[in-house]
Amino acid sequence: MKYLYLGLNDFYLSSAAAAMHLELVPVPPDYGKLREIKHFRPFCRCDEGMFLRMGTDKRGNEVYLAAVSAHPEIFVRGLNSLLAACGIPPAEVKIILCQPENPQIGRIVSLLNKLGLRAAADRLGAGMVRNRLSDLKRLIFMQKTVSA
């Protein structure tokens, strides 16, 4: 099984969720630990739709990240219908959507990054992770329970 953490407009939530899944960071992670996560960063256009490998979990499942700038639901439908068309079980690739409560935050992060304020963008990203921590923990727990 492969896990794909799909972010909207940035990699902050998705990389933090993937790192928690892989048990690379303590829960709750502090700012220092979050900054050490691979791909804990804003998003640029060239990243859109790309799969970034995060590692393999204890059960041997591969964990990936991806991010898109808008309409994540069409990417989910696209992948699910591709698997169905090829007769591949939908459980083969599990997509976990990691969206901030307010999608506008992603645009603010992107703007901060464009202005060269990467540290401020990272701080905001860490804030997003803190706000969504309970949801992320629940999502990861559910996925792990299903795979077990």
Angle between helices 118-131 and 104-114 (to 10 degrees): 160
The DSSP element (H or E) to which 143 belongs, if any, is helix 133-147
| Minimum CB–partner distance for residue 67 and another protein (Å) | 10
Task: Please report, as residue ranges, which positions from 51 to 80 form the binding site for another protein (by CB under 8 A).
Answer: 51, 62, 64, 66, 68-71, 73-79
| Minimum CB–partner distance for residue 45 and another protein (Å) | 9
Instruction: With beta carbons less than 8 A apart as the criterion, state whether 139 and 147 touch.
Output: no
The DSSP element (H or E) to which 133 belongs, if any, is helix 133-147
| Helices within 31-132 (DSSP H only) | 31-36, 72-85, 104-114, 118-131
Q: Which is nearer to another protein, 27 or 91 (CB)?
A: 91
Stretch that binds another protein, among 47-55, 96-104, 106-114, 115-123 (CB under 8 A): 47-55
What is the CB neighbour count within 10 angstroms for residue 109? 28
| Minimum CB–partner distance for residue 13 and another protein (Å) | 18
Q: Which is nearer to another protein, 50 or 111 (CB)?
A: 50
List residues binding another protein (CB under 8 A): 2, 4, 48-51, 62, 64, 66, 68-71, 73-79, 81-83, 85-86, 88, 92-93
